[in-house]
Amino acid sequence: MHEVSDELWNEFHRVVNMTSRELSEWLRTRPAGEDSEELPEDAFTGKGRQVLEILGKRRRDLTGEDIRTMRQVVRMVHDERREDLAPKAGEAHWRHRLMAVGHDPLKPA
């Protein structure tokens, strides 16, 4: 059993503002779109799927890999958004990159 801090648990669930269903649908449909641009390989095949798995787990069932993924996702969203997670429009590829790990910058907090 791996312990995840309250701070990381809460921040991960704050920055991942898409539901499991929304993220799952996004990961399934996004690559099939005719106007899809290339995204980092790990966004869809790795990180996005890992985030989806984490969302389906109880806190006490997290693995060390899950905790590393949570840290990476929080860091990525903070690098892109800083602390302010208010709805914000941006270029489509920027939004899509964030959505690939469960954060929709247009979704109200």
pLDDT of residue 2: 79
pLDDT of residue 84: 78
Q: Can you tell me which residue has the tokens 């958004």?
A: 81
Closest by alpha carbon to 80, among 59, 64, 96? 96
Q: Are residues 100 and 27 in contact, defined by beta-carbon separation less than 8 angstroms?
A: yes
The number of residues in the chain equals 109
Closest by alpha carbon to 15, among 85, 69, 64? 85
pLDDT of residue 70: 97
pLDDT of residue 109: 66
Instruction: Give the residue ranges of the chain where pLDDT is below 50.
Output: 32-34, 36-44
